[in-house]
Amino acid sequence: MKSDQRQLTEGILFTDEYQFTMAQMYFRMGLHEKPAQFDYFFRDYPDYGGHKAGYCINAGLEWLADWMRSARFRREEIECLRGQTGRGGQPLFSADFLAWLERNGHFDALTMRAVPEGRVVHPNVPLAVVTGPLAIAQILETSLLNHLNTQTLIATKAARIHESCRGQLIIEFGARRGHGTGVNAATRAALIGGAHFSSNVGISHALGFPPKGTHAHSMVQAFLAMGLTELDAFRAFAETYPDDCVLLVDTIDTLGSGIPNAIRVFEELRRKGHVPVGIRLDSGDLAHLAIEAARLLDAAGFPEATIVLSNELDELSIWQILTQIGQEAARNGMEAERIIGRLAYGVGTRLVTSAGAPSLNGVYKLVALRRDGRWVPAMKLSDSPAKIPNPGDKRVYRLYDRRGKATADLLTAKEESPADMPEIVLRHMTEARLQRTLRKADIVEAEPLLGTVVDQGRPVYAFPPIEAIRAVRRADLDRLDPGVKRLMNPHIYHVSLSEKMWQMKQKLTASMRANLPRSS
């Protein structure tokens, strides 16, 4: 793309056409400035095929807020809409609507409550609640979904990979296979969700992280084409980076050439007073090669040298590798835990594309409209009860049990609070017969999840740095039942409605069904 087009394609026109056709219709009807409320939530955890997440990690909010502040109709955007024509060749948008849009086409009038980034989140819980003029809140839909869906999806995958790596170092390597510039959002989300560093230089700098990387196969190939050897290549690299030397050992033959040459260079480094960092394995049977590499490095007196694994890794392949090391190490006279404790992981493609589930099914639904001075809940029926959104202005509480573990998320009406309930009835989202009652004494905390981020366009929330967001993630994961964190077949975390919310939803559904034309 030409760089002068970028602003046009990533500003307020980074949205779907129907937002503007609807906005103009609302304008025509005098409804465009009616206060409306929309909920962002996702319907289900990512399902990677054969394994499905038991939780997600919330992410994307700060970039959405940045976008909301900068995106607005300028003359260029107005001219784009002015040039659009309908089937008959007539202008699609009228001059009075465009004049209104030129004055009001920005997000300075919106209020947004949201769940902070890094929090563990679950389906059907409003993660962002937007209130403001109907036409404007509607125009926000596409970009809000794009920002929050992308980063929550990738932060979740990163958290799963982090879970599988048992605390070892993870570097995100995905810039070459992620989707266009969207991979920068993926890198940020990966850092929130569990990657410690990234190889992506620009976005690492922007976020305050040192980018990480060593060398590619091409470096060894170049030396070979020059009539030199792998050993020459390793030596040259070690001379340039004597204290930061990680060598990629599989360009020719991992065990036959790469590791022996790396060890020779490491010995040379040691004689000069340097500590070599380690090696990287990028192909073959990684568990087997890691065991063999550990044995060779130990024998040469480098028991601390890191072994970096890469090559299409994800949470399951890492789990498989660690399982295999557990089984094979002892048979080879090695201690599995010592090998696992020196591993690091370069995780790219499958992390930044959330392989298996490359999209999050987050939606943005109208839940209330202000009419005659009060909020009227908005509903949508569906043949599938799970797809009927929870109407109205809501509050969300996370309930913690005596162990300090999160036991459920509770959606209540605005005026309710768990503190005022004699006991807490948890109603299933759709099934009348499914409910459980919690004794107040068993609940040590009812934590409100939503906080105000933007108050009528005014930023009222200090976005924390990534490091603080990661601390939020770690704390939340510590308060999550281990069963919910399982990579496969996790326990289902409860997201429930209060009795009052449940009754309201039932009443609204019934009254909507009663008004169906075919029933009359």
Please say whether the beta carbons of 127 and 113 come within 8 A. Answer: no
Q: Which is nearer to a copy of itself, 262 or 399 (CB)?
A: 262
Q: Which is nearer to a copy of itself, 91 or 404 (CB)?
A: 91
Compute the least distance from the CB of residue 245 to a copy of itself, in Å: 10
Q: Which is nearer to a copy of itself, 24 or 496 (CB)?
A: 24
Distance CA 504, CA 502 (A): 5
Residues whose CB is less than 8 angstroms from the CB of residue 298 and which lie 6 or more positions away in sequence, other chains included: none
Compute the least distance from the CB of residue 222 to a copy of itself, in Å: 6
Identify the sign of the CA torsion 49, 51, 55, 61: negative
Q: Which is nearer to a copy of itself, 70 or 456 (CB)?
A: 70
Distance CA 60, CA 9 (A): 19
Residue type, 31: L
| Own/partner long-range contacts of 397-400 (Cβ < 8 Å, ≥24 apart) | 397/446, 397/447, 397/448, 397/449, 398/445, 398/446, 398/447, 398/449, 399/424, 399/438, 399/443, 399/445, 399/446, 399/447, 400/443, 400/444, 400/445, 400/446, 400/447, 400/479
Compute the least distance from the CB of residue 72 to a copy of itself, in Å: 12
Compute the least distance from the CB of residue 249 to a copy of itself, in Å: 12
Distance CA 23, CA 94 (A): 12
Compute the least distance from the CB of residue 446 to a copy of itself, in Å: 30
Map residue 344 onto helix, strand or coil: strand
Residue type, 183: V
Q: Which is nearer to a copy of itself, 250 or 476 (CB)?
A: 250
- DSSP per residue, 305-324: -EEEE-SS--HHHHHHHHHH
Provide the token pair at 224: 């070979």
Compute the least distance from the CB of residue 98 to a copy of itself, in Å: 14
Residue type, 159: A
Q: Which is nearer to a copy of itself, 164 or 184 (CB)?
A: 184
Q: Which is nearer to a copy of itself, 256 or 422 (CB)?
A: 256
Please say whether the beta carbons of 210 and 200 come within 8 A. Answer: no
Compute the least distance from the CB of residue 439 to a copy of itself, in Å: 37
Distance CA 180, CA 372 (A): 47
Distance CA 394, CA 377 (A): 10
Alpha carbon of 19 to those of 68, 143, 379: distances in Å? 16, 11, 19
Compute the least distance from the CB of residue 75 to a copy of itself, in Å: 14
Compute the least distance from the CB of residue 442 to a copy of itself, in Å: 38
Map residue 178 onto helix, strand or coil: coil
Compute the least distance from the CB of residue 2 to a copy of itself, in Å: 6
Q: Which is nearer to a copy of itself, 66 or 335 (CB)?
A: 66
Compute the least distance from the CB of residue 395 to a copy of itself, in Å: 20
Alpha carbon of 359 to those of 17, 303, 345, 354, 494: distances in Å? 21, 42, 24, 8, 23
Residues whose CB is less than 8 angstroms from the CB of residue 218 and which lie 6 or more positions away in sequence, other chains included: none
Q: Which is nearer to a copy of itself, 375 or 400 (CB)?
A: 375
| 448 CB-contact burial (10 Å; exposed 0-12 / middle 13-18 / buried 19+) | middle
Q: Which is nearer to a copy of itself, 437 or 520 (CB)?
A: 520
Cβ atoms within 10 A of the Cβ of 52, count? 16
Q: Which is nearer to a copy of itself, 135 or 495 (CB)?
A: 135
